[in-house]
Chains A and B, each alone.
Chain A
């Protein structure tokens, strides 16, 4: 008890009266420092209860002693002359009365959180308020009942060094945000703040062409591209921007590579001292991967089978309708101002049909499908190429040690390919078909790749492949892969029409039907399908999202929709009976009409 008393006294000295644990009777007897005035006595003895003390006054001449009722409360201990008192006790001023109250101290804890990219470190402070307990003040009265009151106790401001030391302990480096640190030290509720920031690297980029003389944002937009005349300036070479390394919060340097390089210039443009100039009139094609001026064939009026097939390297615009038996095949976009009736359209890029599509076949985005296949092929080739190169190097070393083989090393690569790398050999042969495609044939980067294969690696010419050729192939293949990857970042070409009946329509991009709807047709999209009107009969298949105004009919025409992606979305405003919805294999057949059907959670909006 003496030890407790001592600690209470020390605490009293630091905290003041409000938390005093020493009874005034003891203090007034000379043990403590401060003296409380003796209460005036009236008749009998008196007791005054302070927040953490009790002051007793003896009765003047022979009256009744003051009484105190001490509750049996774990938060409160009252000792009188060293013995714990509970219940109703009589008090005299010469007793040593010690009041001890149990408090719950506040706590503040700091924790460091480093961002996934390690460019920021945050400190989270968790604050647990404490509870300070005091006696309910009373008196002076003859009899007092002690009651324990609770008051919130907030932590005091922590020293900044507590946070800074924590950062150092975690091995973090950099200049801390001292204002944030100070705020955290003062926080009275849970708070998280960034206290340390690294320096992010600045991505550089190689030389590249930027569009000029044209609207700033057209290059990445689907739809009508600007028309330019021969000789027009369409692009300007921009200098390279070097990459600047960064530093993370652990003090590590973070390097980044320069992005991309010059776009491939297709045959519709040329570089004239850093300026890209149209060498023919047509529609501009300007992306991160390539620049071209695509010739445009404009056909006035309707087109029928009597006009023959229209096959054109570029864009085709038909100012009328395509009628029975007509065929338009274009490496670029096809725009039809009228209808497409019993005709076929094949487009390397987008297809826009203002009117109806009836008993027709429409294929959009064929070039992209080609790029996708080519990209997969080049990736496979490069995978095999790495293994091939390793084995080739080993065999070359063996051959160098054998004088009888020294004049045959130029045959080694060819033999290795045909005997042990059949898949690579087949892939090399497959690239020869690329020359049948307008876009692949006239793309300088792809052309460089195929020409190298044709001149050195094709089965028919494979006679003198030297180590430098092997290395060079790796470089060119890497360039082709990156170029194809960039081509695949271009917007996916859509197909749009007013309505579609008894027709087959597919697109690598979106299919949008903005008129009355789709009837007895098959629609298949590599992305999203939006039908504002009705889908009645037939099949609708999308990769990501299908949004349909009305599916089926009140009389139960069988109609079905499928979205392949498990995180895709199907939304149907009105879904009739005898319709099927399939989201990545999760199927539901409807027997009655439902409204606002939503399957999947994707928030993407077509």
Chain B
């Protein structure tokens, strides 16, 4: 099974690092990247991704808005919020916006591996968009537990 991934982040350097991270996994195809919400929405409307990674702070725009819009209008897309701000409030906001996962920067191999397991689990349960987990990469042990717990919901 392969997954199409779209990355949204206003920092070009971060987009590049994220692309490298995702592409190390052979089942992932990063088919596009954008540094603003509008460009991302247009691209995803043309070709819908399986997974979209959205930065929270993108200049004046908020990644939460894009997240909510994708969740609302593109059911089945697995939405990942990815941010340097990873406190509990940010995670709750991401959950309220409908995000399925939360990645705290910097993102490591293990974080992407966990994310992919979550996506597979979501797909195998036939419920690709109904997961309201917001685990993350704040620290491996804590995140793993948090993610596991949330996925049990």
Contact = CB atoms under 8 A, between A and B. Distances in A.
Interface stretch (A25-33, A222-230, A532-540, A597-605): A532-540
A592 to B, nearest CB: 15
A100 interface: no
Contact of A560 (B16, B20, B105, B139): B105
Contacts of B75: none
B109 A585 contact: no
- A502, A522, A582 pick with most chain B CB within 10 angstroms: A522
Contacts of A540: 106
B149 interface: no
Contacts of A294: none
B13 interface: yes
A119 interface: no
A504 B21 contact: yes
Given A560-B84, A589-B85, A520 B105 contact: no
A537 B106 contact: no
A458 B51 CA distance: 40
B16 A538 contact: yes
Secondary structure dominating the interface of A: strand
A361 B24 contact: yes
A539 B21 contact: yes
Contacts of B13: 519-520, 536-538, 557-559
B14 to A, nearest CB: 5
B146 to A, nearest CB: 11
The 3 residue pairs across chains A and B that have the minimum distance between CB atoms = A537-B13, A585-B139, A539-B106
Given A503-B20, A522-B21, A558 B106 contact: no
A202 interface: no
A558 B84 contact: yes
Contact of A520 (B12, B24, B85, B108): B12
B21 A585 contact: no
21 contacts: A361-B20, A502-B20, A504-B21, A520-B12, A520-B17, A521-B16, A522-B107, A524-B108, A537-B12, A537-B13, A538-B14, A538-B16, A557-B13, A558-B13, A560-B84, A560-B106, A562-B106, A582-B104, A582-B139, A584-B139, A587-B104
Given A558-B14, A559-B13, A504 B20 contact: yes
B61 interface: no
Contacts of B28: none
Interface in B64-84: 84
Contact of A587 (B12, B14, B86): B86
B78 to A, nearest CB: 21
A561 interface: yes
B11 interface: yes
B90 to A, nearest CB: 11
B85 to A, nearest CB: 7
Given A503-B20, A504-B21, A541 B108 contact: yes
A539 B17 contact: yes
B96 interface: no
B138 interface: yes
Interface in A352-395: 361
A506 interface: yes
Interface residues of A, number: 29
Contacts of B106: 538-541, 560-562, 580, 582
B142 A580 contact: no
Given A580-B106, A587-B138, A537 B16 contact: yes
A564 interface: yes
Interface of B: 11-14, 16-17, 20-21, 24, 84-86, 104-109, 138-140, 142
B16 A520 contact: yes
Contacts of B142: 585
B12 to A, nearest CB: 7
Nearest to A566: B139
Given A582-B138, A587-B138, A539 B107 contact: yes
Interface string A568-606: 000000000000101011010100000000000000000
A420 to B, nearest CB: 27
Nearest to A540: B106
A520 to B, nearest CB: 4
B24 to A, nearest CB: 6
Contact of B84 (A506, A537, A589): A589
Contacts of B109: 506, 524
B94 to A, nearest CB: 16
A541 B140 CA distance: 12
Given A524-B108, A560-B106, A564-B140, 17 more contacts: A361-B24, A502-B16, A506-B109, A520-B12, A522-B20, A537-B13, A538-B13, A539-B21, A539-B108, A541-B108, A558-B13, A558-B14, A560-B84, A561-B106, A582-B104, A584-B139, A589-B85
Interface string A250-263: 00000000000000
Interface string A115-142: 0000000000000000000000000000
A317 to B, nearest CB: 26
A521 B24 CA distance: 13
Contacts of B17: 520-522, 537-539
A537 B14 CA distance: 6
Contact of A521 (B20, B85, B105, B138): B20
Contact of B11 (A506, A537, A589): A537
Contacts of A538: 13-14, 16-17, 106
A134 B86 CA distance: 75
B16 A585 contact: no
Nearest to B141: A585
Nearest to A585: B139
A587 B142 CA distance: 14
Contacts of B21: 504, 522, 539
B31 to A, nearest CB: 18
A38 B142 CA distance: 92
Contacts of A519: 13
A521 B12 CA distance: 11
A558 B13 CA distance: 7
A225 B24 CA distance: 31
Interface in A58-87: none
Contacts of A587: 86, 104, 138
